[in-house]
Structure 1
Amino acid sequence: MPTTPSHPDRGLPVRSEALQDLRSVPLRSVPLRSVPLCSVPLRSVALPHWLDPAEAFDRLFAESPYAIWLDAGADARSGVSYLAGAHHGSRLVTVSARAGTVTCSRPMDPATAPVTSVGTIFDFLRSEQGSTTQAADAPDDVGFRLGWVGWFGYGLARPGRASDGLPDGAPPDAALLFVDRAIAFDHAAHTVTLLAGSTTGEAGNDVEDWLLSTARRLGEQAAAPTPARPQASAEPLEVRWRHDETQYARLIDACQRRIAAGDAYQLCLTNEVTVAGSFDPLTVYRQLRAGSPSHHGGLLRFGAHALLSASPEEFLSVSPRGRLRTRPIKGTRPRSADSATDRMLAEELLASDKERAENLMIVDLMRNDLGRVAALGSVAVTSLLQVESYPHVHQLVSTVEARLAPGLTGIDAIEAAFPAGSMTGAPKASAMAILAALEGGDRGIYAGAFGYLGSDGTVDLAMVIRSIVLGPAGASIGTGGGITALSVPAEEIEETRIKARALISAIRASGGGPAPARGRGLVT
């Protein structure tokens, strides 16, 4: 039977025994205790009141050109949401897979020139991480304790030639902001905690000033009105599909011919939807989360580009003790307003030979991917073919877990499993080559992953699906589904439409218009 997902995923409780007795104490009298955490001493201060993360983001980061919101969902009763914005000393790393380069900059400090070097994002992250060990007695549910937050685009895995260049206005293949100051909202405990780390060369009073000023601003906002948001534009927006229904049906046929020839078992064929215009990321995201709440939602705004996601799928999590987990989704049915019909659709999904086979193929692929970095004998399928229900769709979900092998880190696990098999097909290498020839364009960020890599070795990444990417040309949406020998073209086409519908609706309802963007901070 369908279940509403209750696992917290990006919803790990904020735990700090030292803070339990401080919540009723005025902030100025709170002793800020440094806690060793790799190379970043962590200070955590619990505020004496609850505040909704959406309101807090409006007050603190609505105009910030570099800001993140890892979202446990609208009206969440479990999980933790995290907010952060860049400050003068913050570092941003961006990647061009075509050029094979990594660029590190301080986006809020124009006097500091960016530094570009040859390498991959994984090389860079390893150099930043240093040596880490898996402590057997480390807590396994600490959540995000500062570190890198951003996206890994699908383009990292299938880069074009350097001479091709990126399309005008395309986002970087990967972009991560180093977050050393964040706000954690524990939805189950109804607590708000400020997290801050002192990085090398930073004065300690800078951190304390941030803690005091942030607490003061959050405390003052309880009675303040939420800024007004634009109404939906009266001008129609043009929605364009890279492949129309006839073209997509031909691509499905091509996939099935390659499957019949033995070149693949399953191919995750995708399409792209584009909407030209000027859109405010926060406004669009508010529309998206209202209509499609998800435990792995998120808004990442990095200058000219923003990723807005209502992702239901966990790509990879790694705990401080080295526990690995992936939760691939394969198998979809629409929801119905009629409860009997809705129940029938969920049961139909669970009974479908095609959907079950599709899910099992990806489970096997992910077992193999985790096995490359797992301790011998530790890979296990802990949940198989479970129906989870979201506002617009029922999904078939499985869970694969393992234990990280000694000497390896979460970065090794990401590299081994990326891109996720649920967005490639199987066998992975063959599927990716076939899809690159068929799809007629880059996927960009879509089908990649986003989330955090903590300074303590934790990882929590969601799939970039049910997502909108905003950039200088407007909005883009990726949508697709797994093609097998049993696929019915009309059903596959309808699945892509169902998945894109709520995203298109959020854009249309956001108040954006078809005119080019003008003004600071707008992402279009």
Structure 2
Amino acid sequence: MKVQDLHVFKQQALQWANTFDVCCCLDSNHYADAYGEFDFMLAVGADQSIHAETGSAFEALKSFYERHKNWMFGLLSYDLKNEVESLSSSNPDRLLFPDLYFFIPKYLIVIRNGELEIIIGDSSILELITNTRLKETVSQDISIQSRISKEDYLDTINKLKQHIVQGDIYEVNFCQEFFAEHAEIDPLAVYHKLNELSPTPFSGFFKINEQYILSASPERYLRKIGDQLISQPIKGTARRSTNEQEDRVIRANLKKDAKEQAENVMIVDLVRNDLTKTAAKGSVKVEELFGIYGFPQVYQMISTISSRLDPGIHFIDAIKNSFPMGSMTGAPKIKAMNLIEQYESSKRGAYSGALGYLAPSGNFDFNVIIRSILYQSASKYLSFQVGGAITYACVAENEYEECLLKASPIIKTLKGPHKQPS
């Protein structure tokens, strides 16, 4: 079935979905994707759900999937790392997202190749959607604060570089939190605005009761098509220019930037190693190295690694053994995650985890939850984190500016002044 005005239909569909306690929207924003199947997915209402904490969460998900073998949408928190490795998380958690949450929807609508399909539910829901009146909302300025000062950020980067000098790590992804307390927002309106300012191929709106993820993620964590696994880590960022000629130069310079290539190849090696744990022998390969992709605010360097899943290994174990995404940790992975816990000021929780779906066939697709607003409507706490790869060659001041560049669409979406802590 063709949709006359896709933009309006998506807005109506999401407004209808948001009346339920649980819903998930995944939107490719029309980006070309050699590995994607759906342009848009909307899962609405929880027919069944699983909420699991670190300890045996992956086994619980495996049992849940084997019991139902249905469409499932959900969240994998970064802190599931503690189940994968002997690690811990003790930094303050002000959002309290579940470590793992998946639901089987009451209704599932998808758009692929421009055609609308109802996978779960009947055609009566289309009438409910098209009769939904879009409400006008007035956006309020949200005053954003930094969890750490610029001086503390720069000092931490230099400490992390000392760990590199000492041989503890080669690279680490260090992140900082921006937040707002007493923030009253309309999550759906904010998501629409963020998606308008920064449309990305792995954007998502995820609601679990009073908790929201408003994501403008450009990064795929892991995709399964048949027995093939695909991971596409991002490492390498350059600010875009509104001047067309200058923009082309920026793109060309990023493509040949030795520092950015060094950061990227470290994570490519890490992801190759992660996929090897569950791959058929000799099947891990790099499909693309140092690909340059354009987004509204930035160019990103993206590599693509693939493998064939060993037929004797469950696909949930492929997720577990490659989690969390290497681009958000560093190398060596375990030591990098220990240093992240030591030097960051906030628990990551849902941030740098993954959001996506499992299909009845065993196929799946998950993003990396970055460039995303996390919101707890009960406590009115709003948060987003940004970070980058810290290597010996990096310049602390440049890394700070890159953080602000990555945060800029969110800050612009929320419109508030950016306050530094005293």
Amino acid at match of 2:287: T
Offset from partner CA, 1:341-378 (integer Å, 9 cap, x none): 21222122122211100000000000000000000000
Pairs within 5 Å for 1:128-143: 128-130=64-66
Q: Which residue of 2 aligns with 1:354?
A: 259
- Closer, same or farther in 2 for the Cα pair 1:165/1:359, shift >3 Å? closer
Letter in 2 for 1:150: G
Identity %: 30
Unpaired runs of 5+ in structure 2? Answer: 417-422
1:286/1:48 Cα in 2 relative to 1: closer, same or farther (>3 Å)?
closer
Q: In 2, distance between residues paired with 1:488 and 1:168?
A: 31
Counterpart contact for 1:299–1:307, Cα < 8 Å: yes
CA contact (8 A) 2:292 2:300 kept: yes
Match of 1:517 in 2: none
Q: Residue 357 of structure 1: SS of its match in structure 2? A: helix
SS of 1:499 mapped into structure 2? helix
Alignment counterpart, residue 91 of structure 1, candidates 34, 48, 70? 48
Does 1:465 pair with 2:401?
Answer: no
For residues 2 and 383 of structure 2, the distance between their equivalents in structure 1, rounded to whole angstroms, comes to 41
- Residues 298 and 309 of structure 1 are in contact (CA less than 8 Å); yes or no, is this contact kept in structure 2? yes
The 3-state SS of whatever aligns with 1:86 is strand
Question: Are the structure 2 counterparts of residues 161 and 421 from structure 1 closer, same or farther at C-alpha, using a change threshold of 3 Å?
Answer: closer
Match of 1:175 among 89, 96, 101: 101
| Shift, 1:174, TM fit | 2.1
Query: Match of 2:71?
Result: 147
Aligned counterpart, 1:195: 119
Q: Tell me the distance in 1 between the aligned counterparts of 2:177 and 2:91.
A: 20
For residue 395 of structure 1, give the secondary structure of its aligned residue in structure 2: strand
The one-letter code matched in structure 2 to 1:375 is A
Distance across 2 between alignment mates of 1:327 and 1:77: 14
Deviation at 1:508, TM superposition (A): 3.0
Measure the CA separation in 2 of the matches of 1:212 and 1:55: 18
- Aligned counterpart, 1:520: none
Q: Is the strand fraction higher in 1 or 2? A: 2
Looking at structure 2, the residues matched to 180 and 123 of structure 1 have their Cα atoms a distance apart, in angstroms, of: 24
Q: Does the CA-based 8 Å contact 1:146-1:181 persist in structure 2?
A: no
- Whether the 8 Å contact between 1:50 and 1:191 is mirrored in structure 2 is no
Q: 1:506 offset after TM fit, Å?
A: 1.5
Task: Quote the Cα distance in structure 1 between the aligned partners of 2:53 and 2:259.
Answer: 38
Name which of 258, 265, 282 aligns with 2:163.
258
1:237 is matched with which residue: 134, 137, 142? Answer: 142
How many correspondences in the alignment? 404
For 1:50 and 1:401, locate their aligned partners in 2 and report how far apart those are by CA, in whole Å: 37
RCO higher in structure (CA 8 A, sep ≥6): 2
Q: What is the deviation of 1:158? A: 4.0
Structural RMSD (CA): 2.3
**Are 1:286 and 2:243 an aligned pair?**
no
Amino acid of the structure 2 residue aligned with 1:152: L
Q: Partner of 2:278: helix, strand, or coil?
A: coil
Q: Name the structure 2 match of 1:413.
A: 318
Residue 419 and residue 217 in structure 1: after superposition, are their counterparts in 2 closer, same or farther (change >3 A)?
same
Partner-residue secondary structure (3-state), 1:377: coil
CA contact under 8 A between 1:260 and 1:485: conserved in structure 2? Answer: yes
Give, in whole Å, the separation in 2 of the partners of 1:487 and 1:387: 20
1:359 aligned counterpart, secondary structure: helix
Q: Out of 208, 220, 225, which is 1:302 matched to?
A: 208
- Residue of structure 2 in register with 1:66 after alignment: 22
* Aligned-partner SS, 1:231: coil
Q: Residue 217 of structure 1: which of 128, 136, 140 is its match?
A: 128
Structure 2 distance, partners of 1:59, 1:431, is 41
How many Å apart are 1:167 and its aligned residue?
3.7
**Which residue is equivalent to 2:218?**
312
Query: What TM-score, normalized to structure 2?
Result: 0.90
